[in-house]
């Protein structure tokens, strides 16, 4: 009875243009997910390779630690993007040893490479149970599943097989690994792992949920109603200005827009309002949508097709994706005139009010994230679903039950 009464209340409020009165923590069902890419300092080492002959392979060993028990029981196969780059043309073959300390489903390694001599035959070793595939340009290679499943044995196994190795990294939770090829004479002669090692040749990172700044992301969204057109929507995303930083260098923030339909393609007329400090450049990546996409931001780019460097941090981060062709049926527009800064919008209510005054389609979600957030995922529901699922932001929270420090939004009418 209580659930039915709440559903009727939400239906009545939305039908009458009712408010979304509070910002509450963004949950997993919020239509816009917030991530902060963090870099890992693993146990690892490098060596300069004087022990190797000119045509001996450059060997990199990557060990990924076990998943939590609940993920193993669910049979999850985590995806790890591995990109290999050479500053010039690599004249020596490459050997990758990819070890997953994961029982059951193993790991899906997605590989790409650039700058390698096309005549060289490289070697790829993965542990049993794991799979790999190429995204974009890949290695000319031969592969095996001979790598040891025990992480502690990976280093000694590689040294016995190849004589010496170029780098070793034992990671805990990375989902992206970038390997830069080449030796430096200043590196040690032998790779001797030590904890907290920041490798000059291997960069590992992972996407953590939340907006950073210690207090995560907050937001609100409209409740799902049958008469609400799922194909004509506006999402507002705003970054809190960092008052402690006088940052001047450009920071790319990625916004991925993905179809949630089982058919893989959604037809939409989508509007994104992206508010951030002057140093933020928004990079929008549509996946599997057709129709129209309008982006309102002070600085933004929409990328379709085979792009990999879409930002997402202090420096240019590589976002490895499977090859995608541009959608010929997606009309894209970027509008920069008259877009306010987050502080100029005044409040979440002010930002949504500004969108209404611009004559934009109805605002279906508002997301307010910390300045360290550098990736947003906007999920389009399956065709036939009227709007995003009810989120924590659509729950009946009152000012009396709101968490301390969570601002009350002044009457955002959706």
Dump pLDDT digits (tens) for 369-383. 888 888 999 988 765
Least confident piece of the model among 8-22, 128-142, 285-299 = 8-22
Is 293 a residue whose pLDDT tops 70? yes
Least confident piece of the model among 135-139, 263-267, 278-282, 352-356 = 135-139
Pick 261 or 7 by higher pLDDT.
261
pTM (two decimals): 0.69
Residue ranges of domains in the chain: 2-37+209-394, 42-197
Residue 14 pLDDT class (50, 70, 90 cuts): very low
Strands 94-100 and 122-126: parallel
Is 1 a residue whose pLDDT tops 50? no
Dump pLDDT digits (tens) for 298-347. 999 998 864 444 444 333 333 444 444 555 689 999 999 999 877 766 56
Mean pLDDT of the chain: 73
Segments of 263-302 assigned E as strands: 266-275, 280-287, 289-297, 300-302
Mean pLDDT computed over 86-109: 78
* pLDDT cut 70: percent of the chain above it: 66
Segments of 215-342 assigned E as strands: 218-221, 232-239, 251-259, 266-275, 280-287, 289-297, 300-302, 330-335
What local confidence, expressed as pLDDT, does residue 333 receive?
93
- Residue 80, CA distances (Å) to 158, 248, 264, 382 in order: 21, 32, 22, 27
Pick 286 or 326 by higher pLDDT.
286
Mean pLDDT computed over 136-155: 74
Pick the most confident of 54-68, 223-237, 241-255, 375-389: 54-68
Residue 74 pLDDT class (50, 70, 90 cuts): low
Mean pLDDT computed over 100-124: 78
Q: Are 364 and 388 in contact (CB under 8 A)?
A: yes
Q: Which residues contact 296 (CB under 8 A, 6 or more apart)?
A: 271, 272, 273, 274, 335, 336, 339, 358, 360
Mean pLDDT computed over 3-21: 40
How wide is the angle at C-alpha 166 spanned by C-alphas 168 and 79, nearest 5°? Answer: 45
Mean pLDDT computed over 143-147: 77
- Residue 314, CA distances (Å) to 37, 318, 357 in order: 10, 12, 34
What stretch of H or E contains 14? helix 2-15
Is 136 a residue whose pLDDT tops 60? no
Mean pLDDT computed over 271-282: 92
Q: Are 379 and 212 in contact (CB under 8 A)?
A: no
Q: Are 374 and 39 in contact (CB under 8 A)?
A: no
Q: How is residue 238 written in tokens?
A: 């705003």
Strands 176-180 and 202-209: antiparallel
Q: How is residue 214 written in tokens?
A: 């210690």
* pLDDT cut 90: percent of the chain above it: 19
Pick 299 or 224 by higher pLDDT.
299
Q: How is residue 118 written in tokens?
A: 């096309």
Is 294 a residue whose pLDDT tops 90? yes
Least confident piece of the model among 159-168, 220-229, 247-256, 290-299 = 220-229
What local confidence, expressed as pLDDT, does residue 245 receive?
59
The terminus-to-terminus CA distance of the chain in angstroms comes to 26
Mean pLDDT computed over 121-137: 79
């Amino acid at each position: 009875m209580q659930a039915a009464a709440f559903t009727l209340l939400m239906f009545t409020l939305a039908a009458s243009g009712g408010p979304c009165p509070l910002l509450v923590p963004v949950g997993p069902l919020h239509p816009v997910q917030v991530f902060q890419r963090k870099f890992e300092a693993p146990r690892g080492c490098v060596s300069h390779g004087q022990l190797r002959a000119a045509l001996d392979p450059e060997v990199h060993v990557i060990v990924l630690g076990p998943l939590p028990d609940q993920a193993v029981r669910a049979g999850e196969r985590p995806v790890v993007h591995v990109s290999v780059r050479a500053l010039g043309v690599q004249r020596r073959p490459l050997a990758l040893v990819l070890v997953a300390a994961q029982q059951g489903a193993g790991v899906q390694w997605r590989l790409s490479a650039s700058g390698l001599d096309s005549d060289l035959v490289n070697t790829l070793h993965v542990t049993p149970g794991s799979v790999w595939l190429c995204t974009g340009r890949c290695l000319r290679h031969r592969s095996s599943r001979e790598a040891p499943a025990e992480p502690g044995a990976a280093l000694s196994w590689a040294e016995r097989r190849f004589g010496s190795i170029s780098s070793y990294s034992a990671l805990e939770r990375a989902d992206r690994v970038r390997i830069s090829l080449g030796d430096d004479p200043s590196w040690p002669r032998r790779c001797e792992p030590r904890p907290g090692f920041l490798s000059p040749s291997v960069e590992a990172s992972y996407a953590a949920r939340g907006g950073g700044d210690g207090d995560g992301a907050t937001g609100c969204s409209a409740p799902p109603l049958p008469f609400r057109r799922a194909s004509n929507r506006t999402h507002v995303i705003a970054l809190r200005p960092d008052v402690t930083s006088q940052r001047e260098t450009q920071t790319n923030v990625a916004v991925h827009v993905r179809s949630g339909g089982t058919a893989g393609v959604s037809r939409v007329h989508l509007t994104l309002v992206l508010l951030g400090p002057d140093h933020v450049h928004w990079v929008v990546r549509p996946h599997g949508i057709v129709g129209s996409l309008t982006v309102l931001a002070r600085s933004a780019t929409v990328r379709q097709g085979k792009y990999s460097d879409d930002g997402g941090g202090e420096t240019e981060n590589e976002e490895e994706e499977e090859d995608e062709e541009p959608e010929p049926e997606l009309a894209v527009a970027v509008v920069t005139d008259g877009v306010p800064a987050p502080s100029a919008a005044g409040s979440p209510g002010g930002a949504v009010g500004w969108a209404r005054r611009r004559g934009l389609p109805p605002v279906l979600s508002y997301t307010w994230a910390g300045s360290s957030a550098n990736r947003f995922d906007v999920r389009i529901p399956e065709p036939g679903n009227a709007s995003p699922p009810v989120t924590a932001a659509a729950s009946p929270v009152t000012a009396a039950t709101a968490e301390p420090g969570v601002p009350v939004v002044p009457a955002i009418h959706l």
